Structure 1
């Protein structure tokens, strides 16, 4: 199991409520632009944690819009027929199923003495490696079940 930060802003349109309603995460880039990112999401596993985030380059504050757990990976969604009979080149049809367990927005302020060299948080998707952030995400999940 791993924790990933994911984006939900598609050319200025916020789509996290669509993700919540449809129990999905969709990358939001067309395959021609983002073959590397589709390879990345094809490796997501059931049980991985996704948190929807917003972060400006260089900012030490992460706006968390929601937290979920992967319920079905991309390959399972393809092989089960959930993606329908459309072309896999239709990037809006490629998704992973997610149980969005926390849909309330909150902020994480990263202390100045931690993660100073991290440069990934403005990316579309990344694996979260900073223990400070991991702990807060896991605590939010745990608090939802207490």
Structure 2
């Protein structure tokens, strides 16, 4: 299991659509973003994903949802994403994580694997607290 951050702003915030349609993925077609399509294909069942927003002026990472990949299906017929994965969203209430001090900041990327221990800890804490209810 790994933890991945996914942006949901494609000329508008589509995070609500991600959650309502139980999906996540990029908005660009394979011709414009072949690396993101390969990234989505590489996700595994059980991987944790979170919807993030990281405005440059904000001191925080804004998390809009946390869930996990539920199956190995590659979704190609969505009206929201060009390629996607089915996600079970368990945390849908927004919360914030202070941006950690880091040298190799990937926060503005559309998708990335989360390696920062502080961010990983906060994501898992919210996920497990939600499962206890």
Same fold (TM > 0.5): yes
Q: Taking structure 1 as the reference length, what is the TM-score of the superposition?
A: 0.81
Mark the CA change 1:127 to 1:136 in structure 2 (over 3 Å): closer, same or farther.
same
Residue in 2 that maps onto 1:44: 43
Which runs of structure 1 show a deviation greater than 2 angstroms over 4 or more consecutive aligned residues? 56-60, 90-94
Residue in 2 that maps onto 1:106: 95
Checking the alignment, whether the CA contact within 8 Å between 1:31 and 1:91 is kept in structure 2 is no
Give the match's secondary structure for 1:32: coil
RMSD: 2.2
Higher Rg: 1
Counting matched residue pairs gives: 132
Instruction: Compute the displacement of 1:116 (Å).
Output: 1.9
Checking the alignment, whether the CA contact within 8 Å between 2:14 and 2:80 is kept in structure 1 is no
Structure 1 residues without counterparts, runs of 5 or longer: none
**Can you list the C-alpha shifts for 1:73-102, whole angstroms capped at 9, x where unaligned?**
3xx236xxxx56x9xxx9945210000000
Residue in 2 that maps onto 1:125: 111
Mark the CA change 1:6 to 1:92 in structure 2 (over 3 Å): closer, same or farther.
closer
Distance 1:15 1:77 in 2: 19
